[in-house]
Amino acid sequence: MSDALYQDTLLKLAKEAPRQGRLEPNDVSIRLDNPLCGDRVRLDLRMNGPRIAELAHEVRGCVLCQAAAGVIGLHAIGLDRAGVDALVADVDRVLAGQEPSLKALQSFGPVAGHRSRHDCVRLPFQALTEGLKEK
């Protein structure tokens, strides 16, 4: 592997990110842009009370951003606000160079040393947080 950032597991997660596309009808649809690099995430949520019942994401961004959306596709169903906060805290942990609780986030470990790429990973999670605020 030529760069620790681009491990096979992360590339696979980006390429095969579950729940890619749009979700219609939805209860919340949010688009977030990274103003520095032009990455764009659209996240559609269907809610069951306070919890996420279904979701879909569309990413026009880098591999890190796509893979981060893949983590959401894998693990955000069933989460409420507190669950999302815990997921985001886990992302913060891995970007701070610590071991995350969630196994799927382990492949983001090398990103910790690339500060300019942290926002690539955070963008889908910011969209998730904003989406729940809107609901």
Partner 1 sequence: MRLRDQFPLLTSDPKLHYLDSGASSQMPSAVIEAVTRFETTQRANVHRGVHRLAEAATAAYEGGRDEIAQFFSARRDEIVFTAGTTAAINLVAHSFGDALAPGDEIVVSELEHHSNIVPWQMLRDRRGLVLKVLQVTDEGRIDLAALDRVLTKKTRLIALAHCSNVTGAVVDLARVVEAAKSVGAAVLVDGAQRVPHGPLDIPALGVDFYAFSGHKMYAPHGIGVLWGRHSRLEAMPPFMGGGDMIRSVTFEKTIYAPPPTRFEAGTPNVSGVIGLGAACHWMSGLDWTRIAQEEMRLTGRLLDGLAQVPDLRVLGPLGLQQRIGVVSFALGQAHPHDIAQILDRHGVACRGGHHCAQPLMERFDLPGTTRATIAPYSEDGDIDALLTGLDEARRLFA
| Spatial distance between the Cα atoms of 115 and 128, rounded to a whole number of angstroms | 21
Nearest approach in angstroms of CB 46 to partner 1 is 27
| Spatial distance between the Cα atoms of 16 and 74, rounded to a whole number of angstroms | 11
Contact between 112 and partner 1 per CB under 8 A: no
Contact between 70 and partner 1 per CB under 8 A: no
Q: What are phi and psi of 4, to 5 degrees?
A: -60, -25
Q: Are 69 and 44 in contact (CB under 8 A)?
A: no
Contact between 69 and partner 1 per CB under 8 A: no
Contact between 74 and partner 1 per CB under 8 A: no
Contact between 124 and partner 1 per CB under 8 A: no
Give the alpha-carbon dihedral of 11, 77, 94, 29, to 10 degrees.
Answer: 80
Q: Which of 12, 22, 31, 60 binds partner 1 (CB under 8 A)?
A: 60
Residue listed under structure tokens 């690339």:
114
Contact between 3 and partner 1 per CB under 8 A: yes
Nearest approach in angstroms of CB 40 to partner 1 is 7
Contact between 30 and partner 1 per CB under 8 A: no
| Spatial distance between the Cα atoms of 99 and 116, rounded to a whole number of angstroms | 20
Under the rule (CB under 8 A), what is the footprint of partner 1? 2-3, 5-6, 11, 36-40, 60-65, 114, 117, 120
